[in-house]
Amino acid sequence: MARFNAVDVVLWAMRIAVVAVVVIGTAGTLIKGRYNAAQWFDFVMFGLTIGSIYAQIALGYTMVYGVLRLINFAHGDIVMTGAFAGYFVATPLDRSGFLESHPVLGMAAILAVAITVSTSIAVLTERIAYRPFRRVVGLAPLICAIGVSFFLEQTFRGMFGSAVKSYPEPQWERAAFHVLGFNVPRVDVLVIGLALVFMGVLYLIVQRTRMGTAMRAVAEDGEAAALMGIDVNKVVVFTFILGGAMAGIAGVFYAFVYKQVYFLMGFTPGIKAFGAAVLGGIGNIPGAMLGGFFLGMVESVGPTLFLDGLGIPAPYQLRDLIAFTLLIMVLIFRPQGLLGERMARRRA
């Protein structure tokens, strides 16, 4: 037990370095006091917004992993398909003025089409690419998933071009609420509110419906579930439907927040959301939501809070650095996640 080796030393050094950067950086930033409360509030608000999107994407990873033990590498690209579908509805609606005059109906139409498209594509990928690998052990399923990711990205590039398309921005979302002297952008409220509603619905489906129960049973023990008469194929398809729907919604919101759509847009949020899913304990649905919000906050507040105090120029450029560092730290030090004790024991 007490034996030290080089590997442990390195891992401890990593831990200490990260903690040191966080502590010293935070102290430095706070002492300098270059940012006022309103600015911090903006960071937090953005963190919650982007976090709610990550949370929705993370749900897809976590559910598929729970049921199939597969990292659906293409899940981020499912998000992209939803964003594209939303874009092709939103643009004509915006041009005709409909989106301006009927925000609720307009958003509903955009979301409905996005969900339809992303869900269909998610189910198709499962049927065509993943099902043959159901019993394959080793790296083959993951490599196939990487292939699916590329295939989806490049298919969309071929069909719709490689240019970055700008997403319409109706008047009503530009305004902001004023709460206690802070500006709360309407987009953020809309995105966070709707995301919470959709995630609540998903949680109810998984916890209360017959299909949801079957899904949890398969995640627990696929073989036993099959012996109990559960149609595993159906459950898997259902899982991809739920995950695909959340991804479609997330895609629309992501495009809504960043105001742009292009064929590679799903990759980075996809990887980050996978990190969020692991952070919450993979296979754990509330964990994925929590992980998403946590990641969003760290990514939004982190660069300024940790790095600005160290005198690093243009810390916002290093936002992805912080997100990926968090991802790696989680994979190395706590692969079972924060809420994943039960899973961890089974995987050990």
Partner 1 sequence: MMRRAVLIGLAFGAGAVHIAAVGVLLAMHQRWIIVDALSLGQGALLLIAGGAGATAGRPLSGLLAGAAAGVPIAALVVLMSFVPLHAIFIALSPDLLDMLTLNFGLSAGVGILIGGGAIAGVLGAALRATPAIVRRAIFPGAIAVAVAGVFQELIQLIFQQYEGPIGDFRDFLYTWEGLTPQGAVTIFILTALCSEVIGSVWRRRVERMAVRDHRRERMVRAGIALLVLALLPAVAGSYIGQVLVLVGLYILMGMGLNLEVGLAGLLDLGFVAFFAVGAYTTALLTADASHALAHLSYWAAMPVAVFLSIIVGVLFGLPVLGVRGDYLAVATLGLGEIVRVIVQSDFAAPLLGGAQGILQIPKPQLGDFVLRSPVSLFYLTLVASAAAAFVAWRLENSRLGRAWMALRDDEDVAQALGINLVRSKLLAYGLGAAFAGLAGSIFATMLTSVYPSSFQLLISINVLALIIVGGMGSLPGVVLGSIALIGLPELLREFGEYRYLFYGAVLIVMMRLRPEGLWPSDVRQRELHAADETLALDAGADAVPAQPR
| Residues of this chain that bind partner 1 (CB under 8 A) | 5-7, 10-11, 14, 68-71, 88, 129, 132-135, 137-144, 146-155, 157-162, 222-223, 226-227, 232, 271, 274-275, 278, 312-314, 317-318, 320-321, 324-325, 327-328, 331-332, 335, 347-348
What's the CA gap between 6 and 179, in Å, rounded? Answer: 53
| Amino acid type, 19 | V
Residue whose CB is less far from partner 1, 184 or 318? 318
Q: What does the DSSP 8-state code read for residue 7?
A: H
Shortest gap between Cβ of 158 and partner 1 (angstroms)?
3
What's the CA gap between 49 and 184, in Å, rounded? Answer: 11
Residue whose CB is less far from partner 1, 39 or 317? 317
Shortest gap between Cβ of 68 and partner 1 (angstroms)?
8
Residue whose CB is less far from partner 1, 105 or 332? 332
Shortest gap between Cβ of 257 and partner 1 (angstroms)?
21
Shortest gap between Cβ of 312 and partner 1 (angstroms)?
5
b/e code 154-186 from CB counts within 10 Å (16+ = b): eebeeeeeeeebebbebeebeeeeeeeeeebbe
Shortest gap between Cβ of 107 and partner 1 (angstroms)?
21
Chain-centroid distance, C-alpha 8: 32
Chain-centroid distance, C-alpha 101: 31
Phi-psi label, residue 190: left if phi above 0, alpha if psi -120 to 50, beta otherwise: alpha
Beta-strand ranges (E) seen in the chain are: 165-166, 176-179, 182-185, 260-261
Shortest gap between Cβ of 16 and partner 1 (angstroms)?
13
Residue whose CB is less far from partner 1, 38 or 310? 310
Residue whose CB is less far from partner 1, 191 or 252? 252
Residue whose CB is less far from partner 1, 185 or 269? 269
Of 117, 66, 19, the closest CA to residue 343 belongs to 66
Phi-psi label, residue 221: left if phi above 0, alpha if psi -120 to 50, beta otherwise: beta
What's the CA gap between 160 and 59, in Å, rounded? Answer: 28
C-beta separation of 90 from 280 below 8 A: no
Residue whose CB is less far from partner 1, 103 or 335? 335
Shortest gap between Cβ of 201 and partner 1 (angstroms)?
29
